Amino acid sequence: MDFIFRRIYVGQVKAVIFDLAGTTVDYGSCAPAGVFVELFRNHGIEISNSQARVPMGMHKRDHIQALLQMEDVSKKWKEKYGKAWSDGDLDMLYERFVPLQIGCLERYSTLIPGTVEMAEELRSQGIRIGVTTGYNTDMMQIVLDAVKKQGFVPDSAICVSNVPKGRPAPWMIYQTMQELGVFPPESIVSVGDTIPDIESALNAGVWSLGVAKTGNMMGLNEKEVASLPEDELEKRLASAYETMYRKGAHLVIDGVEDCVESIDEISFMLAEGERP
């Protein structure tokens, strides 16, 4: 007998997995970007803030490697040290990055407006909440301790130290699903402000909800965003939305305060038999 069996999930969203910096904390994702610039400057290499943000969302060691692989940065390194960078240089830079990042995290762990209210609304619908991050265990714990004092406590927290490989690999999402005891992937939404966030969601087979305004795509803190002329803000936001949709995000929002409406929309699409 010739037949095709296709099982289609038509229930509601069961869990939402959020990134940390730029999505739920640290408006503008300023902590990691600034540290990468400082790290390279400490070694005689000037990189721009925009360069520092290109690999954002990855494991921080992978992020440093991606920066070193940039043609401009690679050239500057060779001119400074008389030879191409090596794996030993990468290990050294990551080792020196860690205390720099840890030293500033507490200052950059303020919740993005709307996070607590959003989490309460999702939980009232029976939806579990996880967080994932490119930070290591010590870094993540500093942020978790800070946001707990502000009223945000996720049901699960996974970082790159808990999995074989960070974003864009799907392992942090799968580990979160296992911890929360939720499946199938169609019932999961991943929310993040970087392209690797989108890529990891697509690789995991879950819904990708991009965050355009409060994180890495804009790269500005809350005061800087508020001071932008309206036409400039609209232009930058339109560019961020276009980029995230082009990279595969299923939906894009300004920030987590708009999250609940989008989750409801995804639950409606699931009920109609749609899949990510």
* Confidence (pLDDT) at 31: 87
> Each residue of 175-218: pLDDT tens digit?
999 999 999 999 999 999 999 999 999 999 999 999 999 999 99
C-alpha–C-alpha distance, residues 145 and 24, integer Å: 14
Interatomic CA distance for residues 131 and 139, integer angstroms: 13
- What is the structure's pLDDT at 6? 84
* Per-residue pLDDT at 10: 94
Q: What is the pLDDT of residues 119-163, one digit of tens each?
A: 999 999 999 999 999 999 999 999 999 999 999 999 999 999 999
* Stated pTM of the model: 0.91
pLDDT at position 121 is 98
- Burial string for 24-51 (b: 16+ CB within 10 Å, else e) reads bbbbbbbbbbbbbbebbeeeebebeeeb
The residue assigned the tokens 């090596």 is 86
Catalytic-labelled residue, pool 2, 14, 26, 60: 60
Burial of 144 (0-12, 13-18, 19+ CB in 10 A): buried
The catalytic position among 14, 19, 62, 258 is: 19
For residue 12, pLDDT over 80 is answered with yes
**Per-residue pLDDT reduced to its tens digit, 35-90:** 999 999 999 999 998 898 988 888 899 999 999 999 999 999 999 999 999 999 99
Class of domain 15-29+109-271: alpha beta
Is 2 catalytic? The answer is no
Distance CA 267, CA 171 (A): 24
The predicted pLDDT at position 1 comes to 60
- List the chain domain ranges: 15-29+109-271, 31-107
**31-107 is a CATH 1.10.150.240 domain:** yes
Q: Is 19 marked active-site?
A: yes
Tell me the HSE value of 25 on the side-chain side, using a 13 A CA sphere.
Answer: 29
